[in-house]
């Protein structure tokens, strides 16, 4: 009997090891399939940027304007009229913003030569530090066996030629964005019903319906709230820059409000720009640091107190995930990606929380 048991155990162990190896290979194959699929998805998003970027931006804006279109349709107005009204409203607001940029920007361009001369004079005191940094870089390149000198190749072609080349593509993207915005708002209910009709079970249909509801609620609430906060931020920055004597304070207030849509990166760019303006506007380094430091204080107050109070704690996302999303989308689609990064993260959050089944903590412990 002992001999039979020992032979059974010696026969069972290789079978178990082979089964574990096969299971491991299956899991590895599934993971590799997911990785390859993600790589292909990123490649498609990159290659089809000219088409997908304006369409994605239109969907995000459509999610923001969707609740307003619903209120218009409740009084009996057809969906195609409400969609056209939303497109006209968005174009009007965008035109007003561009007009607000145009007047102070023209004043800034007039003052730019004089401010550039002041900036060059202010940078004279930093020549020693810059020369030391450049010398250190050359020494490091020499130690690594690289060429110390850098060659710069300037390609032929004027700015007018570049603009003439890019203008048709930009115009086509704008038209595609407006068309996608109109058709999405006009047909968003039909899209929702079409997706729900593909669900085979009642429970899955219920989950997807709640996902649609949460996506529109979260994205609309986020963008509308952030827009109100950014308008207030722009007004405060304009008033503070005017009090500090910074040239064209309205321009910097508008720019602060626009760049604040791209959290983390936008305020950093704004602080850098204000530092350059401070160097050109003030005679010493203390004065040059005043505008960016004051702006960072205002932005910190807005980010830590105003925005959480307006949005509420229920929409708080992991800052690391937000940073990764912004970095990924800016790398992929540039400024458009920076704008849609957080809304895309909210969409993923709504889909995951509604579609993926979540086991309560009490049930996990009991299991």
Write out pLDDT tens, residues 132-184. Answer: 555 555 655 565 555 544 444 544 455 455 555 667 778 888 899 999 999 99
Separation of alpha carbons 352 and 207, rounded Å: 10
| pLDDT value at residue 101 | 75
Please say if the pLDDT value at position 14 is more than 70.
no
pLDDT at 301 exceeding the cut of 50 = yes
Q: How far is CA 257 from the centre of its chain?
A: 15
What are 35's two structure tokens? 């990785």
pLDDT exceeding 90 applies to what percent of the chain? 28
Mean pLDDT of the chain: 79
pLDDT level of residue 9 (50, 70, 90 thresholds): low
pLDDT score at 270: 92
Query: Looking only at Cα atoms, what is the longest distance across the chain?
Result: 102
363 falls in which pLDDT band (50, 70, 90)?
very low
User: What string of DSSP letters covers 40-87?
Assistant: HHHHHHHHTHHHHHHHHHHHHHHHHHHHHHHHHHHTT--HHHHHHHHH
Above pLDDT 70, what percent of the chain?
73
Lowest-confidence range among 73-77, 89-93, 139-143? 139-143
pLDDT higher than 70, residue 45: yes
pLDDT above 60: residue 119: yes
- Tell me how far apart the alpha carbons of residues 314 and 312 are, in angstroms, rounded to a whole number: 5
Name the residue among 47, 44, 108, 85 with its Cα closest to residue 246.
Answer: 108
pLDDT 10s digits, 227-256: 999 999 999 999 999 998 888 888 899 999
Q: What is the pLDDT of residue 102?
A: 73
Q: Which residue has the higher pLDDT, 54 or 142?
A: 54
Q: What is the pLDDT of residue 116?
A: 66
Which of 12-21, 60-69, 322-331 shows the lowest mean pLDDT across its residues? 12-21
Q: How much is the average pLDDT of 316-320?
A: 78
Q: How far apart are CA 267 and CA 250, in angstroms?
A: 17
CA angle centred on 66, ends 65 and 70, rounded to 5° = 120
Residue 152 is predicted with a pLDDT of 45
Question: How many CA within 13 A on the CB side of residue 359?
Answer: 7
Q: Which residue has the higher pLDDT, 150 or 193?
A: 193
Q: What is the DSSP letter of 151?
A: -
């Amino acid at each position: 009997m002992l001999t039979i048991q020992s032979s059974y155990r010696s026969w069972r162990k290789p079978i178990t090891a082979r089964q574990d190896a096969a299971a491991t290979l299956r899991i590895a194959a599934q993971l590799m399939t997911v990785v390859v699929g993600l790589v292909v998805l990123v490649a498609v998003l990159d290659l089809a940027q000219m088409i997908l970027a304006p369409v994605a931006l239109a969907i995000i804006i459509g999610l923001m304007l969707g609740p307003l279109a619903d209120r218009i349709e409740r009084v009996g107005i057809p969906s195609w009229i409400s969609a056209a009204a939303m497109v006209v409203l968005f174009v009007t607001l965008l035109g007003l913003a561009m007009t607000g940029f145009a007047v102070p920007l023209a004043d800034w361009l007039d003052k730019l030569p004089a401010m550039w001369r002041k900036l060059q004079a202010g940078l004279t005191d930093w020549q020693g530090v810059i020369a030391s940094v450049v010398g250190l870089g050359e020494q490091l390149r020499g130690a690594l066996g690289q060429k110390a000198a850098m060659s710069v190749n300037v390609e032929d072609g004027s700015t007018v030629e570049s603009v003439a080349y890019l203008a048709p593509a930009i115009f086509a993207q704008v038209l595609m964005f407006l068309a996608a915005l109109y058709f999405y708002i006009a047909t968003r209910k039909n899209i929702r019903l079409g997706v729900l009709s593909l669900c085979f079970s009642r429970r899955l249909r219920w989950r997807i319906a709640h996902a649609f509801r949460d996506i529109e609620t979260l994205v609309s609430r986020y963008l509308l709230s952030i827009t109100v906060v950014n308008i207030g931020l722009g007004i405060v920055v304009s008033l503070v820059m005017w009090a500090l004597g910074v040239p064209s304070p309205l321009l910097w207030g508008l720019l602060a409000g626009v760049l604040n849509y791209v959290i983390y990166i936008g305020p950093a760019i704004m602080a850098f720009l204000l530092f350059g303006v401070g160097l050109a506007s003030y005679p010493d380094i203390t004065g040059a640091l005043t505008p960016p430091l004051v702006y960072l204080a205002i932005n910190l107050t807005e980010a830590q107190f105003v925005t959480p109070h307006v949005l509420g704690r229920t929409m708080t996302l992991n800052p690391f995930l937000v940073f990764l999303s912004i970095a990924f989308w800016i790398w992929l689609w540039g400024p458009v990606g920076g704008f849609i990064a957080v809304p895309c993260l909210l969409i993923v959050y709504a889909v995951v929380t509604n579609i993926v089944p979540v086991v309560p903590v009490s049930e996990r412990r009991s299991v």
